[in-house]
Amino acid sequence: METSDSPRKRAFLVAFGGLAAMAAIMGVGRFVYTPILPVMVEALGLTQAQAGLIASANYLGYLAGALAAMLNLPAGKRSLFLGALFVSVATTGLMAAVGGLPAFIGVRFVAGFASAFAFIFGASLVVERLAALNRTGIVWIFFAGIGLGIAASAAMVAGLNAQGFGWRAMWVASCVLSALALVVAVALTPAASGPAERQAAPGARAQPGALATIVVAYGLFGFGYVITATFIVAIVRTTAEVRGLEPYVWAVVGLSAAPSVLVWNAVAGRIGPLRAFALGSLVEAVGVAASVLWLTPAGIILAAAALGGTFVGVTAVGLMAARLMTSGDPRRAVALMTVAFALGQIVGPFVAGYVYDRTGSFAPSSLAAVGALVAAAALALAIRR
Cα separation, 17 vs 15, in Å, equals: 5
pLDDT of residue 5: 55
CA-based torsion, 133, 134, 135, 139: positive or negative: positive
**CA atoms of 22 and 42, how far apart (whole Å):** 29
pLDDT at 105: 95
pLDDT on residue 195: 44
- Helices 167-188 + 77-94 axis angle, to 10: 160
Q: What is the CA radius of gyration of the chain?
A: 20
Q: Which residues contact 64 (CB under 8 A, 6 or more apart)?
A: 109, 112, 113, 116
pLDDT, averaged per 10 consecutive residues of the chain (385 residues), comes to 64 89 90 90 91 91 85 76 92 94 95 88 80 78 86 90 94 95 86 47 57 91 92 90 90 89 88 93 96 94 94 84 66 74 87 90 94 96 77
Considering the entire predicted model, what is its pTM? 0.82
Residue type, 357: D
How much is the pLDDT for 199?
A: 42
Q: Residue 317's pLDDT is what?
A: 86
Q: What is the pLDDT of residue 4?
A: 47
Q: Report the sign of the C-alpha dihedral through residues 48, 62, 323, 310, in that order.
A: negative
Residue 8 has a pLDDT of 80
